Amino acid sequence: MNGTTTMEFQPKDYKSDLKPIWCPGCGDFSVVAAIYRALAAIGRPPHEIAFVSGIGCSSRIPGYTTAYGFNSVHGRSLPIAQGIKMANPELLVLAAGGDGDGFSIGGGHIPHMIRRNMDITYIVMDNQIYGLTKGQLSPTSKKGRTSSTSRHGSLEQPVNPLLYALAYGAGFVAQAAPIDIAGMAATIEEAIRYPGFAFVNIQSPCVTYGEESQQIKGLKAISESLPALGHNPADRLAAMDLAQHYGDKLHLGVFYRNPEPPPTYGDLIKERQELLSKDALPRERILDLFIKK
Amino acid sequence: MPTQGFDFAKLTLMDALDLAVLVEAEAKERYEEFAYQMEQHRTPEAARFFRYMVENETKHGEQLAQRRQELFGSTKAVVNGTMLFDVEAPDYDAARAFMTPRAAMAAALESEKKAYAFFSSAIPAIKDPQVRALFAELRDEELEHQDLVHAELAKLPEEALVSDEDFVDPPNSPD
Amino acid sequence: MSGRDPERQPWGNNGFTVPMRKDLVFGMAGSGGDGIVSAGDSLLQAAAAEGYHGVMTKSFGSQIRGGESSCRVRISTDPILNPGGDLDVAVALNWDDFLKFGAELPVSGKTVVIYEAATNIPEDQIPLVGITPLQVIAVPMTAMAKETAGTERAKNTVVLGLIAGWFGIGAVAVMKGIRKKLSKKGDELVEANQRAFDAGRAFAIEHPLVTSMQIVASDTKGNVKLITDGNDMCAAAAIFAGCKFFGGYPITPSTEIMQFFTDHVWKYGGSVLQAEDEIAGIGAAIGASFAGLKSMTATSGPGLSLKTEMMGLASIAELPLVIVNVQRGGPSTGLPTKNEQSDLFAAVFSAHGDVIRPVLAPTSVADTFRITIEAFNIAEHFQTPVIVLSDQEISQRKETLDPIDTSVFKIEDRLVPTGSDLQNYKRFKLTENNISPISHPGMLGGTYLASGIEHTENGAPTNSGTVHAKMNNKRTKKFDPLRERRDLFEISGDPDAPIAMVAWGSVAGVCREALAMARAEGLNVKLLVPYLLYPVAEGFYNDYFASVKKGLIIEQTHLAQFHKLLRMHLDLPKGVKPMARSGANPFLPGEIVAALHRLLSELQRSHESQLQPQE
């Protein structure tokens, strides 16, 4: 049979003893299972992985892995992930959170993550609602959506996470959903392997507050595979064209992957450190910089 | 695709048995998770049923593992769990807080049907006669499992006209 | 003291040398285009070259260029404790701008006032109400500049020539510095400056002052001197302490700290991120700390407010972090370029929940080095964010310093888990001293979940009241040994004195000078300078105040924040009162001495009344 090489790590090696508090049926169960698989395929030992999240149901995810986890504050997983990656570029750094964490309070950090192009993978579990705090609107909620903070219907257009990332120049943008776990695991693996900032938007239904149309059945009804459509992931404009259908269609797969990934922020830092360390005064002599000449 | 990376034409008996063991293991793990979730979400009847399914899957798995051991000893398996995607394990989406035992059994039934479909659709591609025989056996076993679930269903009282959802507290915000 | 130095002209009556000055305070003001600050800088550099101690502060209006601009340079043969009070020399290039600085450039009866003759104001009609300066001289600086250098803009060099002539500073060193600075810009510019300088000097020689104010030659000329400001010193100290990561955002008056890192930290294998906002800056620093590096962020009041949530996160996750807050006038945008100490409450109390977060305060450019290192040591040892509460004056003030022997400083690193700790590792283990070994990504066996949510010993989220109480206890009691650190306090004067001062930050420098003056006048006074502002070392303060009948807590805060903070924690003697006012109005040594005299009078009166025979 087609050989898969024996893997050093199995998915269960990335699964911690902590049991999720998510509602039964939550899409995030599938997401974390896919993450275990992706990490196993990549084969980095758990202690070399740092997994940062914000606040929300999906932000609980690092605790359910055996990686070093950091469940931080709302909307701020990306800056913290950046600090970790800059401090130790050898680590595999993941960031995760929900659509509110990422595109509401955290939205201001995304363009800068993208333009710095650090080798970090950002997974957003997008369910168009704020689950943890009992069902308020989220920035990806459809216009007209009723919720606990919009009983008469939302007056706002949703943000489009895919266009957002593509327009800001992300080098890797993809979408996945629990309706295709194999595809989801493969997409996440590809995102992690991409040398630079990678964004994966995952439609992960909320069974407690999500609308009927956003549940698994509803997602199946509007899903289309990007490879099956013949989409070329090296074509950013075509990707943006498809991304416009966010909300009406669930395109699964890689929207865009830069065929010539530029150097990562980490590469550039390393270069600079090597160049400038030749000039260094020993640390004990650093005050010599202030000597009046 | 419930599996990935298999060439059924070239599937050996050892691989097939390993695959079967993994199918049961995957399902068992999923039923364990569901049982735990039901207990956490105070849905004891469904929890009890899922625990029952855990026992079943464990038994089936052990039987298959024993056969594998007898035939192939401790030869290292080539097949691994990452090649399976919920072959017999119920989708995560099948569980719900406060689900009725009927719904839980429906989920199990759905899974058995899924597994049946998998084994039966794989058979035409299989070349090795022993493997074919095994798959046929596994396919038929799924029918037996379905019978077991039907038996459990029969024990259930009439579906109530009201659901637990009508009585339980609304969702709260843990943090 | 008199002496001859070939670089000086003998001055005073009849050409003989006369008693000379040891300390001169210059205040110069004009508009941004006048190059006042450059002149001040040249003067400071020249003073250092000649072996003097020097301090320079600057003050501006709100325009980026061309608004009112001033500097104050104090030059002395002795170490300088603060930028000084009343000016010895006031240089006004125009009166509108000079007057805008009000109490920052106080003119008194001992001041020599030099001003631009082209203002067309007669020497007896200068607009300083109610003040009769020692001497007033109009100088046609602009005309001299135009004539000698071909441009009015050279008037600052004329001023430097005047200063060299009248006060004996920088006769050679100023031009040496200017030559060096302008060497790349061509000989013509340098020569033009030389002519302007010479013209200024010649004018001074031709118009001697009524009282000589020549400065004594320094006997440490030729010794190595450092010149730097509080921000650069802070950054250098951080790198010395092993800081390998800085995350921050530009904000006056702290930006130079980040700039120093962007210049130098790469050389030490570190990195720096100018983040997209204040929150991302501290977020990245927290991430770097989580990853095992010593890390830092720096900001001012508005940024401190933004960073509040993250500070709480670092506290509950028990992550080491140094946060430098360079205070400026508040609240909100406040007065970005003025000194104040009103961030104390924010530094101590910010972040919801029961949090203790150490706060340290340097008092000068020199001790910024030691205090920053101490901040890192405390942060690493106690696994906590630590705030270094600097202020605008220290951060922006340029000072000459004697070289610092870096070998005497101990650097402390965080407690790392041993092999046995890593068997079933519990990140937040309840140990006897409440400090649990801290792992970091990459360490096999040390995986854990760091979080803002309350957690058990192994990091799992919990909402149990029992665990929460235990963890709050761990996070607060671990600081007990910090309250015993006597080396973080400085007491000067008679330890049993009945009159006491307490002052921190840049105000401490003013009070040190006031103490010397008061003691010289026979007052029995002592001064406490706390470097550790929080947690409050109650035992220590109680000891200090045991002998005290009257006292002042002196601070630049409108709400007397430190006074209130002390009262929260201890019973201050009734006679200890706040001497507190809003920033941008610096305390002067003289006014503090006057206040101490008043306290002495009160004390004497109350003694007398106690001694009155009962009727």
* CATH code of the domain containing C344: 3.40.50.970
* Span C372-387, average pLDDT: 98
Claim to verify: residue C355 and residue C271 sit in the same structural domain: yes
- The first and second tokens of residue B159, run together, are 């579906």
* CATH code of the domain containing C180: 3.40.920.10
* Final residue before a domain boundary, out of C468, C484, C500: C484
Q: Are C141 and C158 in contact (CB under 8 A)?
A: yes
Domain assignment present for residue C220? The answer is no
Chain B's closest residue to C454, CA to CA, is: B175
Claim to verify: residue C551 and residue C604 sit in the same structural domain: yes
Q: Are C359 and C387 in contact (CB under 8 A)?
A: yes
Strand C398-401 to C359-360 pairing: unpaired
* Span C229-236, average pLDDT: 97
Residue among C336, C346, C434 nearest C392 (CA):
C336
Tell me the β-bridge partners of C316. Answer: none
Buried b (16+ CB within 10 A) or exposed e, C270-288: bbbbbbbebbbbbbbbbbb
Residue C451 binned pLDDT confidence (cut-offs 50, 70, 90)? very high
Is the model's pLDDT at A1 over the cut of 60? Answer: no
Claim to verify: residue C437 and residue C318 sit in the same structural domain: no
**What is the structure's pLDDT at C84?**
87
- The first and second tokens of residue C49, run together, are 């070259």
**What is the structure's pLDDT at A7?**
59
pLDDT digits (tens, 9 = 90+) for A130-175: 887 778 888 998 898 888 888 888 888 999 999 999 999 999 999 9
* Final residue before a domain boundary, out of C443, C467, C484: C484
- Which residues have C-beta within 8 Å of that of residue C601, sequence separation ≥ 6? none
Claim to verify: residue C48 and residue C153 sit in the same structural domain: yes
B-chain CB neighbours of A21 within 8 Å are: 40, 174
Domain assignment present for residue C49? The answer is yes
What Å distances lie between residue A73 and A214, A236, B102, C349, C430, CA to CA? 27, 33, 41, 19, 24
* Span C297-318, average pLDDT: 97
pLDDT digits (tens, 9 = 90+) for C63-106: 777 788 899 999 999 999 999 889 999 999 999 999 999 888 99
Claim to verify: residue C498 and residue C465 sit in the same structural domain: no
C-chain CB neighbours of A45 within 8 Å are: 444
C-chain CB neighbours of A62 within 8 Å are: 449
**What is the structure's pLDDT at A257?**
98
Buried b (16+ CB within 10 A) or exposed e, C383-407: bbbbbbbbbbbbbbbbbbbeebebe
Q: Are A129 and A98 in contact (CB under 8 A)?
A: no
Which chains contact B through at least 3 pairs of Cβ atoms less than 8 Å apart?
A: A, C
* Span C302-316, average pLDDT: 97
* Closest CB to A1 among B1, B7, B95: B7
Residue among C544, C536, C539, C529 nearest C499 (CA):
C544
Is the model's pLDDT at A205 over the cut of 90? Answer: yes
Residue C12 binned pLDDT confidence (cut-offs 50, 70, 90)? very low
Residue C318 binned pLDDT confidence (cut-offs 50, 70, 90)? very high
Is the model's pLDDT at B81 over the cut of 80? Answer: yes
Domain assignment present for residue C453? The answer is yes
* Span C134-161, average pLDDT: 93
- The first and second tokens of residue C430, run together, are 């309840």
C-chain CB neighbours of A274 within 8 Å are: none
Domains assigned to chain A: 11-290 (3.40.50.970)
- Letter for the amino acid at A132? L
* Final residue before a domain boundary, out of C350, C385, C408: C408
Is the model's pLDDT at C388 over the cut of 80? Answer: yes
Buried b (16+ CB within 10 A) or exposed e, B86-108: bbbbbbbbbbbbbbbbbbbbbbb
Residue among C259, C229, C166 nearest C394 (CA):
C229
φ/ψ (deg, to 5) at A68: -70, 120
Claim to verify: residue C477 and residue C587 sit in the same structural domain: no
* Span C378-403, average pLDDT: 96
pLDDT digits (tens, 9 = 90+) for B97-136: 989 999 999 999 999 999 999 999 999 999 999 999 999 9
Determine, for residues C288 and A87 on separate chains, whether the beta-carbon distance falls below 8 Å.
yes
Which chains contact C through at least 3 pairs of Cβ atoms less than 8 Å apart?
A: A, B
Determine, for residues C449 and A285 on separate chains, whether the beta-carbon distance falls below 8 Å.
no
**What is the structure's pLDDT at C18?**
59
Please indicate if any CB of chain A lies within 8 Å of the CB of C449. yes
A83 CA: distance to closest CA in chain C (Å): 4
Instruction: State how far the Cα of C392 lies from the Cα of C326, in Å rounded to an integer.
Output: 6
Domain assignment present for residue C1? The answer is no
* Closest CB to B171 among A4, A134, A182: A134
Please indicate if any CB of chain B lies within 8 Å of the CB of A136. no
**What is the structure's pLDDT at C314?**
98
Domain assignment present for residue C117? The answer is yes
| Sheet of C294-299, strands arranged across | C271-274, C243-248, C294-299, C321-327, C385-391, C359-360, C532-534
Is the model's pLDDT at C439 over the cut of 80? Answer: yes
Between B173 and A33, whose confidence is greater? A33
Claim to verify: residue C134 and residue C60 sit in the same structural domain: yes
Claim to verify: residue C394 and residue C536 sit in the same structural domain: no
Which letter does DSSP use for residue B172 in this model?
-
- The first and second tokens of residue C41, run together, are 């800088």
Please indicate if any CB of chain A lies within 8 Å of the CB of B10. yes
Determine, for residues B81 and A3 on separate chains, whether the beta-carbon distance falls below 8 Å.
no
B-chain CB neighbours of A53 within 8 Å are: none
Domain assignment present for residue C325? The answer is yes
**What is the structure's pLDDT at B174?**
64
Please indicate if any CB of chain A lies within 8 Å of the CB of B169. no
Instruction: State how far the Cα of A190 lies from the Cα of A254, in Å rounded to an integer.
Output: 9
Q: Are C483 and C539 in contact (CB under 8 A)?
A: yes
ipTM score here?
Answer: 0.90
Q: Are A118 and A85 in contact (CB under 8 A)?
A: yes
**What is the structure's pLDDT at C19?**
64
Is the model's pLDDT at C539 over the cut of 70? Answer: yes
C-chain CB neighbours of B174 within 8 Å are: 463
C-chain CB neighbours of A115 within 8 Å are: none
- The first and second tokens of residue C313, run together, are 């996160």
pLDDT over 70 percentage in chain C: 96
- The first and second tokens of residue B88, run together, are 């017999």
* Secondary element (H or E) of residue C511: helix C506-520
Claim to verify: residue C276 and residue C352 sit in the same structural domain: yes
Is the model's pLDDT at C15 over the cut of 50? Answer: no
**What is the structure's pLDDT at C614?**
60
Instruction: State how far the Cα of A111 lies from the Cα of A167, in Å rounded to an integer.
Output: 9
Residue A245 binned pLDDT confidence (cut-offs 50, 70, 90)? very high
Residue C401 binned pLDDT confidence (cut-offs 50, 70, 90)? very high
Domain assignment present for residue C221? The answer is no
Is the model's pLDDT at C178 over the cut of 70? Answer: yes
**What is the structure's pLDDT at C10?**
44
Residue A37 binned pLDDT confidence (cut-offs 50, 70, 90)? very high
Claim to verify: residue C23 and residue C148 sit in the same structural domain: yes
| Residues within 8 A of C (CB atoms), A 142-171 only | none
| Residues within 8 A of B (CB atoms), A 201-230 only | 205, 207-209, 215-216
* Mutation choice for A interface testing from C53, C232, C271 by most A CBs within 10 A: C271
Chain C's closest residue to B174, CA to CA, is: C463
Claim to verify: residue C31 and residue C132 sit in the same structural domain: yes
**What is the structure's pLDDT at C615?**
55
User: What does pTM read for this prediction?
Assistant: 0.90
Domain assignment present for residue C329? The answer is yes
Instruction: State how far the Cα of A16 lies from the Cα of C322, in Å rounded to an integer.
Output: 32
* Cis peptide bond upstream of C535, omega within 30: yes
Please indicate if any CB of chain A lies within 8 Å of the CB of B78. yes
Tell me the β-bridge partners of C614. Answer: none
Lowest mean pLDDT among C123-127, C278-282, C590-594: C123-127
Q: What is the mean pLDDT of chain C?
A: 92
Instruction: State how far the Cα of C434 lies from the Cα of C415, in Å rounded to an integer.
Output: 12
Q: Are B145 and B27 in contact (CB under 8 A)?
A: no
* Span C19-39, average pLDDT: 89
| Sheet of C576-580, strands arranged across | C489-493, C525-530, C499-503, C550-555, C576-580
Domain extent at residue C459: 415-484
**What is the structure's pLDDT at C8?**
46
Claim to verify: residue C22 and residue C111 sit in the same structural domain: yes
How many domains, in total, are found in chain C?
4
- The first and second tokens of residue A282, run together, are 């020993």
Is the model's pLDDT at C14 over the cut of 80? Answer: no
* CATH code of the domain containing C548: 3.40.50.920
Determine, for residues A283 and C242 on separate chains, whether the beta-carbon distance falls below 8 Å.
yes
Domains assigned to chain B: 9-76+97-157 (1.20.1260.10)
Ranges assigned E (strand) in chain A: 49-53, 68-71, 92-98, 120-126, 172-176, 198-203, 223-225, 250-257
